[in-house]
Structure 1
Amino acid sequence: MPLPELDSSVGHSFGLEFDSVLIKRITEVSGLKMEQDVIELKQNTADGKYAIKKLPGRPKAGEVTVTRGLTEDNSFEKWIKDSRFGRMANARRNGSIIVYDYEGLPIKRYKLINAWPKSLEISTLKAGDTSVLTEKLSITYESVELD
């Protein structure tokens, strides 16, 4: 059942999909944004007053970080190997970050264009610690679109 018009949605879970491979157990997504340059046009008006007009400029590339619990799935490692060894034709991909509602249905999809992994970080390994081990993948992209 869709949410009423004035209700906000709650992201219960997140997914990452690249090349028809869906990773559903993403626990955190940070840094996802659409941004562009601002151009200042300084001019005089017809009556001689000084005015500054702000215009939209070029879109900026971005970077997003996704976090998931450490599992035997090695798709993050395979992907970052391509970029580390300069195989950018394989590393550069189009994909999506998907937000799911409480029923597991997708409610929003952010399409990342020409994305590739910049870094992979494993959480601190500490003997006797009871926290969940995670891996954070930083993905750089040229643009983001709403799907």
Structure 2
Amino acid sequence: GDASASRKSPGRTDYEAITLERGLTQDRTFEDWANKVWRLGAGLGSEVALADFRKDVYLEFYNEAGQLALAYKIYRCWPSLYKALPPLDANSADVAIEELVLENEGWERDISVTEPAEPK
């Protein structure tokens, strides 16, 4: 009942979207997953496959020596944005990058992954 001090209470937790990028390849994994959320040109009522569009993702980070340094378990992810083609500019020397933005419902760090030993 003390009106002279403000108090904060825990509330809803919000998890930011995760953006994954990679060089353009023949691998269609990103594209197939994004198409589960919305299939352009599919028949009426079959545009969306909501039964299995959410997936748990395991995200690994490696150091410069190629050793696993950190890992996260990310829960109930689904693609909210997929960019299949980069800007096409014949005068540019840029690498073609594919982008997938994942919404998620939480994550936790995999504590079984320990810091790699320094090479001697």
| Shorter-chain TM-score range | 0.7 to 0.9
Task: Flag as ranges the 4+ runs of structure 1 deviating above 4 A.
Answer: none
**Residues in 1 aligned to 2:108 and 2:12: alpha-carbon distance in whole angstroms:** 15
**Residues in 1 aligned to 2:55 and 2:62: alpha-carbon distance in whole angstroms:** 22
**Residues in 2 aligned to 1:129 and 1:53: alpha-carbon distance in whole angstroms:** 54
Which residue matches 1:106?
68
Number of equivalent positions: 101
Structure 2: where are the runs of 5+ without partners? 39-46, 111-120
Percent identity, aligned pairs only?
Answer: 30
The 3-state SS of whatever aligns with 1:125 is coil
Which residue matches 2:81?
119
The 3-state SS of whatever aligns with 2:59 is strand
Given that 1:116 and 1:139 are in contact with CA atoms closer than 8 Å, whether structure 2 keeps it comes out as: yes
**Residues in 1 aligned to 2:96 and 2:78: alpha-carbon distance in whole angstroms:** 23
Post-superposition offset of 1:58 = 2.0
* 1:86 lines up with 2:40 in the alignment: no
RMSD: 1.5
Which residue matches 1:69?
23
With a CA cutoff of 8 Å and minimum separation of 6, indicate the structure with the bigger relative contact order: 2
Post-superposition offset of 1:62 = 2.6
Q: TM-score, normalised by structure 1?
A: 0.63
Which residue matches 1:3?
none
Instruction: Report the CA distance shift for 1:107/1:94 in structure 2 as closer, same or farther (over 3 A).
Output: same
Given that 1:62 and 1:142 are in contact with CA atoms closer than 8 Å, whether structure 2 keeps it comes out as: no
Post-superposition offset of 1:51 = 1.5
